Structure 1
Amino acid sequence: MGAIATTVKEQIQKLTERGMDFDWGIEKAEEILLDIGYYRLGFYWNPFEIDATHKFEKDTKFSTVVKLYYLDVDLKNILNKALNRIEINLRTQLIYIVSNEYPQYPTWFANKKVMDSYFVDEFPKYYDNKFKDKNKPIKKHHNNYPNDIYAPAWKTLEFLSFGSIYSIFYSLKDEMLKYKIAKYYGFKSIKTFHNFFQTIIFIRNICAHSGLLYDSNTPKEISTTPFFKFNNNNKHSLDSSIKVILYFLGKISNDRKDIIESEISTLFDSFQNDNVIMKIITDKIGYIKIG
């Protein structure tokens, strides 16, 4: 689609010329394009394009594109439930463990005895008047304690982004304290914990910001661990990232892990009679059903 807006009928004509089979009918296609949008759906018919002119491979069906879109949406919704639980738990453990290690420093995240200097020096950029006004408990704290530069960690860290939580963990000076947090989740290596933490953030950002999930590959190789095996030894695939998510979730609640794992399996199984989608699940996501 170029720089000039087009009508739904023009969009359908363009797709028809490129070889799309509107197997659900033109009226249904118009409804879907007006619902989801031509641009957004384009990410899901992209795998079926075969040349630089965006021609589709033979027998590319509009229904397949829409099914792939909803596979992506449904998988994001499932993973979001797991990721939210993990994010809250990681945030809670960081606050709890570090705050109890330094009870004399309620704002330890801004203390150079605890944190790397560069983090402390940069933190005021994020903890500004906009941050205080946006988050009512923080604003209330400063109304009650006007001389405080920051609210205590158990208040402040609740309103920071998940990426900031990772930065705080990374910036802790005490390696043994980092190890204590990592050990809580069963890690013997801080480096591996860092790697898994980054993987969680990568997938969480895709799910939270309507990114393309089914075709995602982690920029960094996921660390080899005894916790699980990688399908086809692919340490970048979405399936490998899902294994990381399920590992973390299992350390928080085995029951919740079982529920999420079952929901993912049920979602993928629902396409077992669709060879095209199943090939994407196998080849792009990297999922292989066991048993």
Structure 2
Amino acid sequence: MGNKATNFNEQIVKLEERGMELDYDKDKIKEFLLDIGYYRLGFYWNPFEIDKDHNFAKGTKFSNAVLLYYLDVDLRNILLKYMNRIEINFRTKVVYYASNTHKNSPTWFIDPKVISSEFINAVENHYNDEFKKNNKVIKLHHQKYINDKFAPAWKTLEFFTFGTILKIYKSLLDSEIKKRIANEYGIINIDKFINLMETIVYIRNTCAHGGVLFDLRLPKGISAIPGITFNNNNRHSLDSSIKVILYILEQISNDRKNEMTEKIKETFDKHSENEVLKNIITNEIGYID
């Protein structure tokens, strides 16, 4: 399309020229383009392109790109719901075990006897004027205790991101606390536990920022998990990432794990009624029923 903005009619002509079958009427296509956007939909018709000029394979339908987009939307909604459960559970355990181990240090997350200097030196990336202003509990704490530079951990960590909580866990100097938390999730090795949690944080951030899921490839391979088989031994796929989420979720609630498993299966089954999407589910996502 070049570097100039284009209107709907120009976009539709371009798709036709590249060989896409426009199997909706033009008003409906314009509706999709205004709702989702030409650029974002491009991520979902990319699998059907056959050359560097972005021409499409014969028989490529506009509807398949739209359906693939909505598969991503369905997966994102499911994954965010259950990863939120994991995030809250993990945050609670970090706060509980560290705070009770260091009862005389309510702000242990900036205590050099408890946390590595690397995190403490960068704490203002997480705890700054904007953080204090945007979180009501923190704001009220500083209004009441004007001499406190930081609010206690049990208040502060409630408003840190999942990724920051994981950084704090990794920065704990006491390996016994880290082991105890990892053991709560059925993992003995701390490094393996960190790998699994980094996987979940990566998927969570991808979902939260509207990233594409169907062709996701993790930057780091997933550690082996007892009793879990990765399809085709692929440790970078979305399907393998989903298995990590289910594994950790099971340690928290078997009911929630079963519930998520069913919702994922229903979503893949529904979208697999379309043969084109079925191939993508199998070959790109890596899901095998």
The TM tier, using the shorter chain, reads: over 0.9
The amino acid that maps onto 1:270 is: K
Q: Quickly say closer, same or farther: Cα 1:110–1:269, change in 2 above 3 A.
A: same
For residue 227 of structure 1, report the CA deviation from its aligned partner. 3.5
**Aligned residue for 1:169?**
169
In structure 1, how many angstroms separate the alpha carbons of the residues matched to 2:249 and 2:207? Answer: 17
Secondary structure (helix, strand or coil) at the match of 1:235 reads coil
| Residue range with higher mean Cα deviation, 119-128 or 198-207 | 119-128
Contact 1:64/1:277 (8 A) holds in 2: yes
**Aligned residue for 2:264?**
264
Query: Unpaired segments of 5 or more residues in structure 2?
Result: none
**Aligned residue for 1:209?**
209
Q: Quickly say closer, same or farther: Cα 1:279–1:116, change in 2 above 3 A.
A: same
The amino acid that maps onto 2:242 is: I
For residue 191 of structure 1, report the CA deviation from its aligned partner. 0.9
The amino acid that maps onto 1:91 is: R
Contact 2:99/2:153 (8 A) holds in 1: yes
Q: Quickly say closer, same or farther: Cα 1:125–1:82, change in 2 above 3 A.
A: closer
CA-to-aligned-CA distance 1:104-138 (integer Å, 9 cap, x gap) = 11110010110111211221343222211111111
The amino acid that maps onto 1:146 is: I
**Aligned residue for 2:22?**
22
**Aligned residue for 1:61?**
61
Residue 256 of structure 2 corresponds to residue 250 of structure 1: no
The amino acid that maps onto 1:195 is: N
The amino acid that maps onto 2:93 is: Q
Residue 86 of structure 2 corresponds to residue 89 of structure 1: no
Matches within 5 A, 1:173-252: 173-252=173-252
The amino acid that maps onto 2:283 is: D
For residue 226 of structure 1, report the CA deviation from its aligned partner. 1.1
**TM-score computed with the length of structure 2 as normaliser:** 0.98
The amino acid that maps onto 1:81 is: K
Contact 1:227/1:247 (8 A) holds in 2: no
Query: Unpaired segments of 5 or more residues in structure 1?
Result: none
In structure 2, how many angstroms separate the alpha carbons of the residues matched to 1:52 and 1:122? Answer: 43
In structure 2, how many angstroms separate the alpha carbons of the residues matched to 1:256 and 1:80? Answer: 13
**Aligned residue for 1:112?**
112
In structure 1, how many angstroms separate the alpha carbons of the residues matched to 2:198 and 2:184? Answer: 17
The amino acid that maps onto 1:282 is: T
Contact 1:220/1:236 (8 A) holds in 2: yes
**Aligned residue for 1:132?**
132
In structure 1, how many angstroms separate the alpha carbons of the residues matched to 2:129 and 2:4? Answer: 41
How many corresponding residue pairs? 289
**Aligned residue for 1:39?**
39
Alignment root-mean-square deviation, CA:
1.0
In structure 2, how many angstroms separate the alpha carbons of the residues matched to 1:10 and 1:123? Answer: 49
Q: Percent identity?
A: 56
In structure 2, how many angstroms separate the alpha carbons of the residues matched to 1:226 and 1:136? Answer: 42
In structure 1, how many angstroms separate the alpha carbons of the residues matched to 2:165 and 2:14? Answer: 46
In structure 1, how many angstroms separate the alpha carbons of the residues matched to 2:126 and 2:68? Answer: 38
In structure 2, how many angstroms separate the alpha carbons of the residues matched to 1:171 and 1:121? Answer: 12
The amino acid that maps onto 1:149 is: K
Secondary structure (helix, strand or coil) at the match of 1:104 reads coil
For residue 147 of structure 1, report the CA deviation from its aligned partner. 1.5
For residue 187 of structure 1, report the CA deviation from its aligned partner. 0.4
In structure 2, how many angstroms separate the alpha carbons of the residues matched to 1:261 and 1:57? Answer: 34
